A and B are shown apart, each in its own frame.
Chain A
């Protein structure tokens, strides 16, 4: 696609429900990143993939959060048993390469706004 696509754009759920957030990166992009942005804050790193391999999940807050990218393209971020503190904008980004070098940059999607009631 032309850009990074995230769905749904908005998600409202009740506390205790599971949610799945989808990210479709730019075609051919090797790396895919998930960030979370709380209101009034900057984005916070959650996890990232090179191809289908999850390289770093140190930013996932707890074991209710998981992510996968089974075919090295589309990724899903799943939050189980949602809590109100999970409410935030969840942003996905992709990059062509893996090393973050001089000629690389991240392309961000518009995000999924999650509201847990």
Chain B
């Protein structure tokens, strides 16, 4: 069975500082990888996804993630965070091609941006 590990449950960072949220997955087969963001009292929203091709994926709101097959990682980065980035971030994985949107999520990382 697939699993996703997000080691950091909380990440505090000052506004305009860079941030990296870590994600590692365990799968012996090729996978699709995703990052979702959850703002308070809202549904999850897709930030970006990796299906194939270039290992550097750019998403919305200035976020990007890099797929590293040898390290089975898909870390999320942003060079300069804003207060509005405060939210919970979930990494997820699915099995192509039939896996579709049946996702296995990590436990989430709470990003808290401070002034």
Contacts and interface: CB of A to CB of B under 8 A. Distances in A.
Interface of A: 3-4, 31, 33, 35, 40-45, 48, 56, 91, 93, 95, 98-102, 104-111
10 contacts: A4-B43, A42-B90, A91-B43, A93-B101, A95-B101, A99-B100, A104-B101, A106-B101, A108-B44, A109-B43
Q: Is the interface of B mostly helix, strand, loop or mixed?
A: loop
Interface string B9-46: 00000000000000000000000100010000111111
B106 A42 contact: yes
* Max count, chain B CB within 10 A of own CB: residue among A31, A100, A108: A100
Interface of B: 4, 32, 36, 41-46, 49, 51, 90, 92, 94, 96-108
Contacts, number: 69
